[in-house]
């Protein structure tokens, strides 16, 4: 058995999410190869070679792969698939974009967002917003898998010394072109890998009021998240969204501010180690999962908390 893990990277380094996918591959067993497909991506390839447990890094360095467009990337992976029993990626927007395309081209089912490896062909995955856990077995010869990064430990970023080998670029189908990216610039840690997350909900009332969430987050060295209601209301961008249809997080500490606790939100954060809820409605469902609940006006409580820390 040999696993191919598709790296999420920015050409200079490897994203933390990929480290979790590598751990899932280790649980499957066999060699672990990492594909770094990018442009001027020597930095990312070198970082991949250092990851503990990786046996080989395959590097496709071409302008075609500069922006991880689904069509050329899928063509590349399909061309390499003959060497592999398992093809994995973190369940990031990039992995979710490209791997189903790979699976269909290989005529195999995809296992989405696995939270546990039972054996080389059997996996656990959450369904219905995490309200049920399905154990599924794949009958296909090859397994194409996206990995829920919050439920696997991260493989060590250092300690490995894998060989690096170039891969020739595949023919670009030329179906799409990159125009631009507007990435949120933030000094704060990334939401899915942060140790502490402070999230705001509909109770924040406005985007302007998120300043008090940000102040608390900065005091704690935390990432800022939000409920779908807060995104729907236009308070914050969608990449803040924690929940079934947004990001899945499991930090050491999750502080839910003005969030009622709809099942779709709980789906994204209920595996956090410690949950704090601050809400003026003592009956809000968020309190049923919170380790520590504080019933009160968030506009008084949050600034007081920030000041006292």
Binding to other proteins (CB under 8 A): which residues in 93-152? 93-94, 96-105, 107-113, 122, 126-140
d(CA 240, CA 228): 9
Burial of 273: CB neighbours in 10 Å, binned 0-12, 13-18, 19+: exposed
Residue of 82, 158, 168, 177 interacting with other proteins (CB under 8 A): 177
Least Å from the CB of residue 6 to other proteins: 14
Least Å from the CB of residue 126 to other proteins: 7
CB nearer other proteins, residue 72 or residue 200: 72
Contact 73, 96 (CB under 8 A): no
Q: Which two tokens stand for residue 271?
A: 């595996």
* Binding segment toward other proteins, per CB under 8 A, in 28-36, 41-49, 201-209, 298-306: 298-306
d(CA 220, CA 196): 7
* Binding segment toward other proteins, per CB under 8 A, in 18-26, 30-38, 42-50, 263-271: 263-271
Helix (H, G, I), strand (E, B) or coil at 276: strand
CB nearer other proteins, residue 24 or residue 196: 196
| Residue 212 binding other proteins, by CB under 8 A | no
Contact 123, 135 (CB under 8 A): yes
Residue of 27, 55, 66, 71 interacting with other proteins (CB under 8 A): 71
| Backbone torsion region of residue 130, taken as left when φ is above 0, otherwise alpha when ψ lies between -120 and 50, otherwise beta | left
Q: What is the secondary structure of 211-230 as a DSSP string?
A: HHHHHHHHHHT-EEEE-HHH
Residue of 231, 257, 284, 298 interacting with other proteins (CB under 8 A): 231
* Binding segment toward other proteins, per CB under 8 A, in 41-49, 161-169, 171-179, 198-206: 171-179
| Residue 250 binding other proteins, by CB under 8 A | no
User: What's the sign of the alpha-carbon dihedral 119, 133, 116, 123?
Assistant: positive
**Angle at the Cα of 290 from the Cα atoms of 284 and 296, rounded to 5 degrees:** 55
Least Å from the CB of residue 172 to other proteins: 12
Site for other proteins in 15-44 (CB under 8 A): none
Contact 236, 204 (CB under 8 A): no
| Residue 63 binding other proteins, by CB under 8 A | no
Closest CA to 163 of 252, 59, 260, 297: 59
CB nearer other proteins, residue 161 or residue 178: 178
* Binding segment toward other proteins, per CB under 8 A, in 30-38, 55-63, 164-172, 269-277: 269-277
Task: Characterize the bridge pairing of strands 292-295 and 274-279.
Answer: parallel
Helix (H, G, I), strand (E, B) or coil at 73: helix
Closest CA to 268 of 129, 116, 125, 113: 129
| Residue 182 binding other proteins, by CB under 8 A | yes
| Residue 305 binding other proteins, by CB under 8 A | yes
Least Å from the CB of residue 165 to other proteins: 27
CB nearer other proteins, residue 157 or residue 250: 250
CB nearer other proteins, residue 80 or residue 98: 98
| Residue 294 binding other proteins, by CB under 8 A | yes
């Amino acid at each position: 058995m040999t696993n191919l893990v598709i790296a999420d990277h920015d050409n200079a380094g490897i994203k933390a999410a990929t480290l979790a996918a590598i751990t899932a591959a280790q649980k499957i067993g066999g060699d672990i190869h990492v594909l770094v497909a990018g442009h001027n991506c020597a930095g990312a390839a070198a970082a991949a070679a250092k990851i503990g447990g990786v046996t080989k890094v395959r590097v496709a360095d071409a302008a075609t792969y500069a922006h991880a467009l689904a069509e050329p990337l899928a063509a590349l992976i399909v061309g390499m698939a003959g060497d592999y029993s398992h093809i994995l990626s973190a369940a990031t927007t990039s992995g979710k974009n490209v791997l189903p395309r790979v699976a269909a081209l290989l005529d195999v089912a995809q296992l989405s967002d696995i939270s546990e490896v039972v054996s080389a062909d059997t996996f656990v995955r959450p369904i219905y917003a995490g309200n049920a856990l399905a154990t599924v077995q794949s009958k296909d010869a090859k397994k194409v898998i996206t990995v829920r990064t919050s439920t696997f430990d991260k493989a060590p970023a250092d300690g490995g010394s894998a060989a690096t080998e170039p891969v020739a670029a595949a023919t670009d189908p030329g179906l799409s072109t990159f125009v631009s990216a507007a990435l949120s610039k933030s000094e704060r840690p990334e939401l899915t890998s942060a140790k502490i997350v402070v999230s705001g909900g509909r109770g924040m009332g406005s985007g302007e009021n998120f300043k008090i969430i940000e102040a608390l987050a900065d005091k704690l060295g935390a990432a800022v998240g939000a409920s779908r209601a807060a995104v729907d209301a236009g308070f914050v961008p969608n990449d803040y969204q924690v929940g079934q249809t947004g990001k899945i997080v499991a930090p050491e500490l999750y502080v839910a501010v003005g969030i009622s606790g709809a099942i779709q939100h709980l789906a994204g954060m209920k595996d956090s180690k410690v949950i704090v809820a601050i809400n003026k409605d003592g009956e809000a469902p968020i309190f049923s999962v919170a380790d520590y609940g504080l019933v009160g006006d968030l506009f008084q409580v949050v600034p007081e908390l920030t000041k006292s820390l």
